[in-house]
């Protein structure tokens, strides 16, 4: 048995190709994969697939459909995106995230009379990436290459508030030729503890730092925002003309009520300006609890999308709460999944596109919509998708939406487009 692997050592977002030769014609081959995330030893994930060789004794995982396994399509990346947890020491993979060490993935190929092992090395960043902690007017981390003159992307995360999780995307993106600045915008020094009335003036300090830092030295701002950070990215672009490019992943077109964890908090906006709440739509927790109960009685996973959709329908102030994206001076890329079960980002993105079209928006705008994608991380092949597709919660099962294959396809295609979009001249 001969195994050929392209991209055996690569960045985490890059695809591998796996081909196997010199098998007995029509013989069976089992391929399995095991890995631990480098910052969380003891939490083991595994996947497998079983194939039948052709008459030539060859199997190409990009074209061969497994007869059994943790995924169902012809795809060399199937073993990676279908990883499932098979051993746990009770650690939280969302804590103590680090991009210093690569993910090591161990492949085992088992034919009738032969075994072979190969290790994949999946790096978060190239060796020339520097990481600079920022303290003072704001808290952040800058990922950059020395003396590169690269464009700078300001990266905004979602409502979990964990800046560390942004490193998983910032490091690979910086390795593609950008400076990437990750920042927290709540639950940090000088900021609200919860996602409530976050002052937009805070970002003016960040914009000033980007314009005056010797590393970034730019007045043109690029922003990448995910989920609640996508809402924020669009809001900032509608008010600050120095923002020239925006990638909003799973965003919304409205400003919403403050959050306290997963459900709504105080009856104030998530955002403020000059000490006043920016107009917002109230989110009715009672809708969530009622819909969750119905889903649990039906034995189906629950989410938050119906809560947001019905809250919008009830709202009498939709015009005031809508983010006036048409006032932006930025190129805009919207990314969403039609099966988003966190909130109705697909409907929101379509509404945004309609407003841009009706206002004869001068700058470039586009939407990437994926039929079977839900609300995954915006970068593929790192956190196993099964982690968010089925989560036991409050006596039921929560899902962020979409299918395994649909989320994997959307993550990869949208991240590749994100890189291209930020590199393109305006």
Cα separation, 172 vs 123, whole angstroms:
8
pLDDT for the residue 263: 65
Q: Given CA atoms 51, 55, 59, 65 in this order, what sign does their dihedral have? A: negative
pLDDT for the residue 150: 87
Cα separation, 363 vs 365, whole angstroms:
7
- 217: how many CB neighbours lie within 10 A of its CB? 12
Q: Phi then psi for 38, rounded to 5 degrees? A: -60, -20
Which distant-in-sequence residues (6+ apart) come within 8 Å of 35 by Cβ?
44, 45, 46, 83, 103, 104, 105, 106
Alpha helix segments (H runs only) across 271-330: 285-298, 305-314, 318-321
- Within the chain, which residues score under 70 in pLDDT? 161, 261-263, 426
pLDDT for the residue 261: 65
Query: Which of 249, 251, 223, 219 lies closest to 237 in space, CA to CA?
Result: 223
Cα separation, 384 vs 393, whole angstroms:
18
pLDDT for the residue 262: 63
pLDDT for the residue 255: 98
């Amino acid at each position: 048995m001969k195994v050929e692997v392209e991209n055996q050592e690569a960045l985490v977002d890059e695809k591998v190709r796996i081909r196997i030769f010199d098998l007995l014609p029509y013989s069976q081959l089992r391929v399995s994969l095991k890995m631990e995330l480098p910052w969380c030893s003891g939490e083991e994930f595994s996947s497998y697939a079983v194939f039948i060789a052709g008459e030539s004794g060859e199997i190409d995982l990009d074209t061969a459909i497994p007869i059994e396994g943790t995924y169902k399509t012809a795809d060399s990346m199937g073993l990676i995106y279908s990883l499932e947890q098979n051993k746990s020491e009770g650690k939280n993979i969302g804590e103590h995230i680090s991009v210093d060490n690569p993910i090591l993935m161990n492949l085992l190929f088992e034919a009738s009379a032969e075994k072979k092992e190969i290790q994949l090395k999946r790096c978060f960043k190239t060796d020339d990436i520097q990481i600079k902690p920022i303290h003072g007017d704001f808290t952040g981390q800058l990922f950059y290459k020395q003396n590169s003159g690269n464009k700078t992307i300001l990266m905004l995360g979602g409502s979990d508030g964990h800046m560390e999780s942004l490193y998983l995307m910032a490091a690979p993106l910086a390795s593609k030729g950008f400076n990437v600045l990750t920042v927290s915008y709540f639950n940090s020094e000088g900021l609200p503890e919860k996602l409530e009335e976050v002052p937009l003036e805070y970002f003016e300090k960040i914009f000033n730092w980007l314009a005056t830092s010797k590393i970034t030295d730019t007045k043109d701002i690029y922003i990448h925002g995910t989920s609640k950070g996508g809402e924020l990215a669009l809001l900032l672009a509608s008010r600050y003309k120095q923002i020239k490019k925006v990638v909003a992943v799973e965003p919304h077109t409205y400003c919403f009520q403050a959050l306290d964890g997963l459900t709504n908090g105080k009856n104030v906006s998530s955002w403020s300006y000059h000490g006043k709440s920016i107009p917002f739509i109230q989110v009715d927790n009672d809708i969530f609890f009622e819909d969750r109960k119905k889903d649990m009685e039906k034995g189906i996973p629950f989410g938050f999308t119906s809560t947001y959709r019905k809250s919008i329908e009830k709202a009498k102030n939709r015009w005031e709460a809508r983010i006036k994206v048409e006032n932006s001076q930025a190129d805009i890329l919207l990314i969403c999944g039609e099966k988003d079960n966190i909130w109705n980002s697909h409907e929101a993105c379509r509404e945004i596109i309609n407003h841009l079209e009706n206002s004869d928006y001068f700058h470039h705008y586009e939407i990437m919509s994926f039929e079977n994608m839900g609300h995954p991380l915006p970068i593929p092949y790192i956190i196993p998708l099964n982690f968010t597709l089925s989560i036991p919660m409050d006596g039921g099962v929560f899902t962020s939406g979409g299918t395994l294959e649909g989320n994997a396809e959307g993550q990869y295609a949208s991240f590749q487009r994100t890189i291209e979009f930020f590199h393109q001249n305006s």
